[in-house]
Amino acid sequence: MLKKVLTWLAIAFVVFYVIQRPEDAAGIVRSAGGALSDAADSLSAFVESLV
């Protein structure tokens, strides 16, 4: 039950943050996307170096 309440509170916080500060929320998503892209590039370079 506590896990369900905490999950809904987290979702509500994210929605509130996106509504109140959309530019900041977009920046966070952009940063996360960039980090995932960098990680994928690094993994690709590693696999290529094995060949």
pTM confidence score: 0.61
Q: Please, what sign has the CA dihedral across residues 31, 33, 39, 42? A: negative
Residue with tokens 């929320």: 25
Q: What does the mean pLDDT of the chain come to?
A: 95
pLDDT score, position 49:
96
| DSSP of 3-50 | HHHHHHHHHHHHHHHHHH-HHHHHHHHHHHHHHHHHHHHHHHHHHHHH
Pull the structure tokens for residue 41: 């590039």
Which pLDDT tens digit goes with each residue over 6-39?
999 999 999 999 999 999 999 999 999 999 999 9
Q: Per-residue pLDDT for 51 more than 90?
A: no
